[in-house]
Copies of this chain bind each other. A is one copy, B any other.
Amino acid sequence: METRIERIKKQLHSASYKLTPQREATVRVLLENEEDHLSAEDVYLLVKEKSPEIGLATVYRTLELLTELKIVDKINFGDGVSRYDLRQEGAAHFHHHLVCIECGAVDEIQEDLLEDVESVVERKWNFKIKDHRLTFHGICYRCQDKDKEVEKVD
């Protein structure tokens, strides 16, 4: 964890930005909630718990900065808010998501899976891919189990 912050600090420095206390607090919240998909407001509230003096605008600016440096990715699941997701260290591409249309849970897929598709797209559409966004909408394993229970009862 600490080493991870150290590395992010270096990334900031090499782009001539500083890791201010506010930025560090924001990064910590992201690290501590890595499995979640927090909105700017969510991050703000969590940061505020430990650093109550922070302002919402600072959180927005920090998230924007981290996005620019590809430390986090900004995603949008269609619910009107942007969410911020830490990129795996050293990952060339953004990971994928499974959004459950029953319970709203968002699970992550770290595997690439798109290598073949991307080479087809690059060749056939002559498009130089830099990044991607892939989200599946459907029913997660938890809800499938729940649904089965209901069927039994009926």
Cβ of A118: which chain B residues have Cβ within 8 Å of it? 136
Cβ of A132: which chain B residues have Cβ within 8 Å of it? 134-137
A143's nearest neighbour on chain B, judged by CB, is: B128
Cβ of A114: which chain B residues have Cβ within 8 Å of it? 117
How far, in whole Å, are A74 and B126 apart by their CA atoms in the complex? 26
CB <8 Å contact, B138 and A129: yes
**Stoichiometry (number of copies):** 2
CB <8 Å contact, A129 and B133: no
How far, in whole Å, are A141 and B129 apart by their CA atoms in the complex? 11
A65 beta carbon closer than 8 Å to chain B = no
Cβ of A113: which chain B residues have Cβ within 8 Å of it? 117, 120-121
Cβ of A144: which chain B residues have Cβ within 8 Å of it? 126, 128
Cβ of A130: which chain B residues have Cβ within 8 Å of it? 101, 137-139
How far, in whole Å, are A113 and B132 apart by their CA atoms in the complex? 14
A53 beta carbon closer than 8 Å to chain B = no
Within 81-133 of A, Cβ neighbours of B (below 8 Å) are at: 82, 98, 101, 107, 109, 113-114, 116-118, 120-121, 125-133
Cβ of A137: which chain B residues have Cβ within 8 Å of it? 129-133
CB <8 Å contact, B109 and A125: yes
Residues of chain A whose beta carbon lies under 8 Å from any beta carbon of chain B: 74, 76, 78, 82, 98, 101, 107, 109, 113-114, 116-118, 120-121, 125-141, 144
14 contacts across the A-B interface (CB closer than 8 A): A76-B78, A98-B121, A101-B130, A113-B117, A113-B121, A116-B116, A125-B141, A126-B144, A127-B138, A130-B138, A132-B135, A132-B137, A133-B133, A133-B134
